């Protein structure tokens, strides 16, 4: 996987994770999904950026990895990178969802 593809995939993982965890989405679609998820397992996953990034990063990691070891490493790298981007983008603000 080249560096540019890794970077844009990482940005996409961060964007989708942030959308589902912290935004209402167009026409409040994401807000409605989060409300339907409630306090169950899916609702708790959507409330936690760290938890949600693991699941959002899974498909790109599996898709781009050549063998199982690389798939797992990319999966964790995409999630970890998204978490770092989230921390840098929220510098100076308090987060209650960790």
Mean per-residue pLDDT for 69-91? 96
Most confident option among 23-32, 42-51, 62-71: 62-71
Instruction: Name the pTM for this structure.
Output: 0.87
In this structure, the chain runs to a length of 98
Sorted by where each begins, the domain ranges of the chain are 3-87
Share of the chain above pLDDT 70, in %: 93
């Amino acid at each position: 996987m080249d560096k540019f593809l890794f970077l844009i995939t990482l940005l996409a993982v961060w964007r989708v994770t942030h959308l589902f965890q912290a935004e209402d989405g167009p026409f409040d679609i994401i807000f409605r999904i989060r409300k339907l998820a409630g306090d169950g397992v899916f609702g708790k996953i959507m409330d936690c950026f760290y938890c949600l990034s693991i699941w959002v990063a899974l498909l790109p990691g599996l898709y781009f990895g050549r063998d199982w070891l690389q798939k797992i490493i990319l999966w964790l790298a995409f999630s970890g990178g998204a978490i770092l981007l989230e921390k840098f983008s929220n510098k100076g603000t308090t987060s209650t969802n960790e």
